Amino acid sequence: MEELTRNLAALETSDTFPEDDSKPTLLPIPGPPGLPIIGNIRDFDPAFPLSTFLNFAEIYGPIFEMTLGTAGRRVFISSVELFEEVCDESRFHKVVTGALETLRNGVGSGLFTAHHGEKDWLIAHRILMPAFGPLKIRDMFDDMHDIASQLVLKWARYGPKHKILATDDFTRLTLDTLSLCAMGYRFNSFYTEEMHPFVDAMVGYLFESGKRAFRPSIANKLMRRTNARYDQDIKYMRDLARELVQGRRNNPTDKNDLLNAMINGRDPKTGEGLNDELICNNMITFLIAGHETTSGLLSFTFYNLIKNSAAYRAAQKEVDEVCGKGPITIDHIPKLKYINAVLRETLRLNPTATTFSLAPHSDLDEHPPTLGKGKYSLEGVPAVICVLQKIHRDPKVYGADANEFKPERMLDEAFEKLPKAAWKPFGNGMRACIGRPFAWQEAVLVTTMLLQHFNFQFDDPGYELHIKQTLTIKPKDFYMRATLREGMSAVAPSAAADVIHSDGGSQKHPAKETSGSDKKQQRKLMSIFYGSNTGTCEALAQSLATNAAGHGFDADVRTLDSATEKLPKDHPVVIITASYEGQPPDNATHFVEWLKSLSGNEASGTNYAVFGCGHRDWQTTFQRIPTLVNDTLHKLGGTRMVERGVADAAEGDMFTKFDTWEDELFWPAIDSKYGGTSVAAASTTLVSTLTAEISSNRSSKLRVDVSDARVIATKTLTAPDQPEKRHLEIQLPSNAAYSSGDYLAVLPINPKQAIHRAMKRFQLPWDARITLTSTAPTALPTNYSMSAHDIFAAYVELSQPATKKNVLSLAAAAVDPETKSQLEALAGDQFQAEITQKRISPLDLLERYPCLHIPLGSFLAMLPPMRVRQYSISSSPLHNADTCTVSYDRLEVAALSGSGGNHYGVASNFLSSLEPGDILRVAVRASAKPFHLPLNPAMPIVMIAIGTGIAPFRGFVQERAVQILAGRTLGNALLFVGCRYHDKDRLYAEEFDKWQEQGAVQLRYAFSREPELSEGCKYVQDRLGKEKAELFKAWEDGARVFVCGNARLGEEVAKVCKDGYRERRKNQGEETTEEAAEEWFGKLKEERFATDVFD
């Protein structure tokens, strides 16, 4: 076992094959084929060029070449081993080419854009080096603190409900910091809503410079309007720079800053100074490079911290221990070891300057110059472009988790052991960034101040990182929220008495009441916190909040993360959360980490209740997070008001489980402790918090958590006499990026049949309008008119099985005694068999009992809000990063209600109704980390699926096929698939056969209706058993195993593996117990066994 573990570890971190000690033969450099004249220009993503380099690195490996039109050949490298070679300054030097060359239009021979050996660079570098020395940077601390305090004050005044566009405010911060420290000039960016005009000019200049680098020169000359704006932007920046220089000359000071260094400094070697034009070149260079990269660093840092709650908690703990709650001083900075590691790890994953270019010295004693220890010729190659984001993620250096954010690997001792070329976000050698000490001190200070004062969370808990690129990169559309930490206040630098308290209001400027009525203010407070990825727990929280009004409570519904360090103690607290493979939901990670870090009686005074959702098929992690929260709060001194509620998705109806817990346990306990309406009255009365007014005006509102995508193609994958399985290809939204194995979240529309039934039952004309008003929290749009059809189609789940509370409410509304009696019976002992198992919805009951008459608002209030459905993406971005495909079963079966109609799957029928050109609303969501192809392509993989569980593996194999066609050598891939027939439901048969011929996969089928065609194997577990020798050979070679299918498939695969292990041990002369086999499988399952289970 130990030997297997060692072999696995070696394989995980290796991307090379045994070296040949003989003299290397020159190898061709792989790359995509180009077109005459323009070469590979059309291969570039104009909005995100870096993605082109990253995709080709995945396809072709650590070295590839492209032809960039008239600019000629470029070689790209993406491994530490190759990067180490080109960082040898005795062989290579920086070369200014492409976008950097274009930047010279605005900054000439500034430090960043000067050519190798250019005289202006040599003089300026020698003059300015002392100005960036340790003592000079230390002297700038107070000015840095001044600007950082302005940011803290702004966020404190805005309060926790304000959406912060992180990149904008960090741009304000870094621009103001650099201009004040370097030039004694205040842009005062925090005193206006709009960005300073310099920022607009700079962004336009950077954006157009980047675009020009990828356009033919003739095209650039013809774009007159664009050129005029470009020239205008450059003129504005240079005029401002000249104004600052002239202002300092007219009003000299003895300030020890960069501007004085440039005006008064003399080159110690030649005695020359800098003329005003060269000073302006470098001033603009500092303003651009110095603030653009640092604002990107800070933005990525806070994205990474919010996304990774354990690292966030460790960073904030260090700030608390080193700095406490007092002012941060210069002496604190070197003590913040973990903050340093966070910033290093951020720049490893997302170096804001994504590439730099090097070229061999012209007098190099190599003919031709080579790379890869003599394997690749660089003859005729003017530049080698180093793709830092791939180099910094080299699994040979950083291991199988190279893509993960782990600051611990960047702590001082571990950091010093890294190869020198493994981390170079500031460039290399003599041409490395001269302002690195300035940027680092600023970044450490700002990160520390913000963590000291605030708790942060995503504005959208489901936010996935997207990149915006000019010449640097930043997160795109990254919004977060900042809540002042308990006991913290922010003091305005200019007015010490203007204190901002933790409620987000100011003593001088108290917060204005924005909502509520006298009646609402008389209610008692209740806080409901939810942790939810798919929307179920959020829907339960909203339902509880709606019902709370009837018990005399005004319920505030928020994400669980918003309770971090702010757990209420003066009113009841309800926590509704799920577990996802044993981990907290995305919007609960920070709360859970904070809770785990406590050890005293911090929850004393908190009266709480916990309800947990989960799926028992994940036996080892079922209800882990709800249990942890419930037990930990109790240990920390909290008062548990009621026993934890439990809902199991495997049983099918979590809403009824929640209603039962709510009515029979929760409300009796709450009403007893706090007083309130009786449970019986609340449970058997129609919901009256929502009313509907019908009109004939038109309007609609679309959801905002998903984006528009366009259908490209659809097709049926199965024969007409088989259960229908379909394929859908879509053009992704422009901001969407995915990896093989990820999910596509789809916001569906209810089946037209269900919509028609609802309209008919309430006697609504096709153009009816509804205006909803509510006296309690609701997920439905309120206070404006919209189409009744849109409400039924897009906002509520019409087919969701009724809960007991729904049935009792309908019974309360029944006038006919017989109807009332039947409904009450259905809510009793018959409920599970007649309602839940037959999936009877409130709409079904209203149709069954036409004599029932309830208000439309009461009906809508019964229904949970529409939720997204997730489908495994069945394609690879290496095939086409702009599109993705999904493969799904279309559900249409006879309804179990006995009505004679059919039951339609909501999302599958919505997808099947789409045609090319149609628009749907989607979002890409990352799958669990283990369910992705290994970083090392030489690692073997085994894939096991039934039916449409083949979807993610189509993406895996498609990706491997692209890499093989590009000449890469990959590890073996086995795919075990279960289906019925060889010719009726063998999904993507032609594609998989072709990929098998190419060597991308080895197929092993099990045909349940034709076992004679699959080695006598009826089910996929039978085929696994038959091929167990092959399976275990792959396992011993370090293979990763992936399973996608229903829960039973996972159990059968586990049984085959454990039985095979015991058999192999027996053949080796050693008997193994079931318990030992279970322990063996459990350990390897944690390391190399990933499952994706669906119902």
- Other beta carbons less than 10 A from residue 218's beta carbon: 8
Cβ atoms of 719 and 984 within 8 Å: the answer is: yes
426 flagged as catalytic: yes
Cβ atoms of 697 and 766 within 8 Å: the answer is: no
Catalytic one among 113, 177, 293, 803? 293
Helix, strand, coil shares, percent, the chain, to 5: 45, 15, 40
β-sheet bridge partners, residue 506:
500
Instruction: State the maximum Cα–Cα separation within the chain, in Å, rounded to a whole number.
Output: 106
* DSSP sequence for 528-560: EEEE-SSSHHHHHHHHHHHHHGGGTEEEEEEEG
Angle between helices 1028-1036 and 1047-1067 (to 10 degrees): 80
Cβ atoms of 486 and 225 within 8 Å: the answer is: no
Residue 1092: its H or E element: strand 1089-1093
433 flagged as catalytic: yes
Beta strand 607-614 pairing with 639-640: parallel
Catalytic one among 426, 1032, 1081, 1094? 426
Instruction: Write out the two tokens for 1094.
Output: 């669906």
Distance, CA of 294 to CA of 151 (rounded, Å): 15
438 flagged as catalytic: no
Cβ atoms of 788 and 700 within 8 Å: the answer is: no
Beta strand 479-484 pairing with 454-458: antiparallel
Cβ atoms of 767 and 780 within 8 Å: the answer is: no
Q: Which 8-state DSSP code applies to residue 35?
A: B
Question: Nearest 5 degrees, angle CA 366-CA 370-CA 373?
Answer: 110
3-state secondary structure (DSSP) of residue 1076: helix
Catalytic one among 433, 979, 1017, 1044? 433
Question: Nearest 5 degrees, angle CA 390-CA 396-CA 401?
Answer: 75
Residue 40: its H or E element: none
Distance, CA of 864 to CA of 764 (rounded, Å): 21
Phi, psi of 587 (to 5 degrees): -95, 20
Task: Give CA separation, 662 vs 419, 614, 669, 670, 967, in Å.
Answer: 58, 17, 10, 10, 61
Does residue 676 come out as left (phi exceeding 0), alpha (psi in the -120 to 50 range) or beta? Answer: left
> Could you give the residue numbers annotated as active site?
293, 426, 433
